[in-house]
Amino acid sequence: MEKKTILWKAVCAVVVVALAVLLLSGLLNNHDVRYHKDALTRDELTHTKVEAPDTLAYDGTISADSWRETFPYIAASMDDNAKNDEIVSYLEQDPYLVNIYEGYGFAKDYGSARGHAYTLEDVHNTERPHATANCLTCKTPNFAKLVQDKGVEVYTYDFDEVWNQIHDMGEAVSCYTCHGNSAGNDGELRVTHTYVNKALGGNVQTIDPATLSCGQCHIEYYFTPADKETMMPYSSVDTMTPEAILEYYDTMVLPDGTVGFADWTQESTGAKMLKAQHPEMETYLQGKHAMDLNCADCHMEIKLAEDGTVYHSHELVSPLDSPAILESCVRCHGDENMTQKVHRIQDQITARETEIGNRLSAFKDALAEANQSGALSEEKLDEVRTVYRHAQWFFDYCYVENAEGAHNSQLANHCLDLAEQKIAEGMALLGK
């Protein structure tokens, strides 16, 4: 074949490919123009490889202030978490909780969560008693670092002593929490809370890092009876269901040889109770979005700075408050009104919570009465106490999840169904 023909063929091929690319990108752009006017995607992020600053905090962590010069937009956006500053008292909003949680700290003080900037302040101000430093687990990177350096014994250190030190020299949830000291290395995410690796082992790899970084704290956890270490009650995504976790607690062998973990024993009913805590990651991972999206996709807006830097805003917002994040829903939800969709779910779940919470409270009163009157045998009472423990667990698992059904309405309703069944079963046993 002549050289000219080869050259000609090559030119043609290039032209064809170029046309195809133009056509395709045109189509995609069209789609973008229609649906994502301003929405930026992960692909447009500008990852900068930089040296980590060499200014270390007292414990060897790199603080947000030290990163500020390198990542000004990210650091400033993290500061914006202070804007989310309101606390609603759940006990005033839902008075039946005071009765259900009788004998436990949450009956004294239980306010809604607010921005990460307040974690240290709020853990100090709560009227819930905190005997040891383990309450600091999810409030500050400096406690995570202390556990890494000194081991599980720090969970039993005196709360005030550790809090004072961190309050003076450390910081609230910060860069180190989610990135270790490597935020400069493309924002690589690192697990800094040791119990995550202990509980999940190799299964850590099965969870998207941008979900697991939040899942270091937005999870159900307990303090191990032996050394008060913070721990997750499962070992894989498959065992992150309310049923499997209840089974885990029910069958746990305690240091004294008895079986069954309890957060507290309730005086009026004699029941060994469990308190669920914000199982956001567990609820989310059993839901409809688990395969395709991570926490950052819905709670961290991708922004464009004046100098052209594209970055993840580190202000953790509700997707409903961010037009840019709402734009990203269109890809799968089309022109469905997402705010209405979310509110419809939340209204339905909250209405059921109020109704079932009040019934649970009435069940508790009936059990307390039976416990005090001596009308039932201890064996029969124990049977009802277990039913009550389980009803409370399923109710709580739904109630304390902060998305109010939006992360997974099916699971929220399932928990409420189970609570309802258990209440009916218990009332029947009491002859009510």
CA–CA gap between residue 115 and residue 78 (Å, rounded): 10
- Nearest residue (CB) to ligand HEC, 35 versus 264: 35
Residue 91 interacting with ligand HEC (CB under 6 A): no
| Smallest distance, ligand HEC to C-beta of residue 220, A | 12
- Is the four-CA dihedral 387, 392, 397, 403 of positive or negative sign? positive
- Nearest residue (CB) to ligand HEC, 274 versus 403: 403
Among 200, 245, 281, 398, binds ligand HEC (CB under 6 A): 281
- Nearest residue (CB) to ligand HEC, 272 versus 314: 314
| Strand ranges for 178-319 from DSSP E | 222-223, 230-231, 264-265, 272-273, 302-304, 310-312
DSSP state of 272: E
Among 39, 40, 57, 75, binds ligand HEC (CB under 6 A): 75
CA–CA gap between residue 154 and residue 132 (Å, rounded): 9
| H and E: helices and strands count for the chain | 18, 6
CA–CA gap between residue 136 and residue 374 (Å, rounded): 42
Residue 146 interacting with ligand HEC (CB under 6 A): no
Map residue 402 onto helix, strand or coil. Answer: coil
DSSP letter string over 126-180? -SS---BGGGGTTT-HHHHHHHHHH-GGGGGSBHHHHHHHHHHH--SS-HHHHHT
* Residues with Cβ within 8 Å of residue 392, at least 6 apart in sequence: 100, 273, 274, 360, 419
CA–CA gap between residue 175 and residue 77 (Å, rounded): 12
Residue 276 interacting with ligand HEC (CB under 6 A): no
* Interacting positions 373-402 with ligand HEC (CB under 6 A): 402
Among 271, 293, 360, 429, binds ligand HEC (CB under 6 A): 293
Residues 219-258, one symbol each (x = binds ligand HEC by CB under 6 A, - = not), give ----------------------------------------
* Interacting positions 335-354 with ligand HEC (CB under 6 A): 338, 341-342, 345
* Interacting positions 181-210 with ligand HEC (CB under 6 A): 183, 187, 189, 210
Among 39, 40, 162, 316, binds ligand HEC (CB under 6 A): 316
- Nearest residue (CB) to ligand HEC, 138 versus 418: 138
The three-point CA angle 220-222-227 to 5° equals 155
Residue 145 interacting with ligand HEC (CB under 6 A): no
- Nearest residue (CB) to ligand HEC, 107 versus 329: 329
| Smallest distance, ligand HEC to C-beta of residue 185, A | 8
Map residue 230 onto helix, strand or coil. Answer: strand
CA–CA gap between residue 104 and residue 108 (Å, rounded): 8
Among 20, 131, 332, 351, binds ligand HEC (CB under 6 A): 332
Task: Single out the residue of 419, 385, 423, 427 nearest to residue 399, CA to CA.
Answer: 419
Using CB under 6 A, count the residues that bind ligand HEC: 73
Structure-token pair, residue 175? 């860069």
Residue 272 interacting with ligand HEC (CB under 6 A): no
* Interacting positions 93-112 with ligand HEC (CB under 6 A): 112
Task: Check if the beta carbon of residue 119 is closer than 8 Å to that of residue 173.
Answer: yes
- Nearest residue (CB) to ligand HEC, 250 versus 417: 417
| Smallest distance, ligand HEC to C-beta of residue 388, A | 28
Residue 41 interacting with ligand HEC (CB under 6 A): no
Structure-token pair, residue 353? 């919570």
| Smallest distance, ligand HEC to C-beta of residue 322, A | 8
Residue 361 interacting with ligand HEC (CB under 6 A): no
Among 331, 347, 355, 378, binds ligand HEC (CB under 6 A): 331
Task: Single out the residue of 405, 425, 403 nearest to residue 416, CA to CA.
Answer: 405
Distances in whole angstroms, Cα of residue 391 to Cα of each of 107, 132, 225, 273, 416: 18, 29, 23, 10, 9
Among 213, 230, 266, 392, binds ligand HEC (CB under 6 A): 213
| Smallest distance, ligand HEC to C-beta of residue 383, A | 34
Residue 40 interacting with ligand HEC (CB under 6 A): no
- Nearest residue (CB) to ligand HEC, 84 versus 132: 84
